[in-house]
Amino acid sequence: MFSLKEFIKKGLLDAVGKMADYQVILNAAGWHEKGVLDEADLAEVNEKIEAQYQVEDPTEVTVEEE
């Protein structure tokens, strides 16, 4: 069965990294105002936006097994 909420959320999550962050955020906020998305959905979108900027700690040394 078609779910508008899941359809919109998938589109927003797919847009992360392809559209400017502010555009994704404003679009998500608009769908929240319309009652389609809830705060948990906005948190999921925000989590994906933040995840694209996470970098590994260069001071962390890993030892490879031979």
Question: Which pLDDT does position 63 carry in this prediction?
Answer: 67
| pLDDT averaged per 10 residues in sequence order, the chain, 66 residues | 97 97 98 98 98 81 65
Question: Which pLDDT does position 60 carry in this prediction?
Answer: 67
Q: 46, 36, 43: which is closest to 16 by C-alpha?
A: 46
Amino acid identity of residue 58, one-letter, is P
Question: Which pLDDT does position 48 carry in this prediction?
Answer: 97
| Both structure tokens of 43 | 């948190």
Question: Which pLDDT does position 32 carry in this prediction?
Answer: 98
**What's the whole-model pTM score?**
0.79
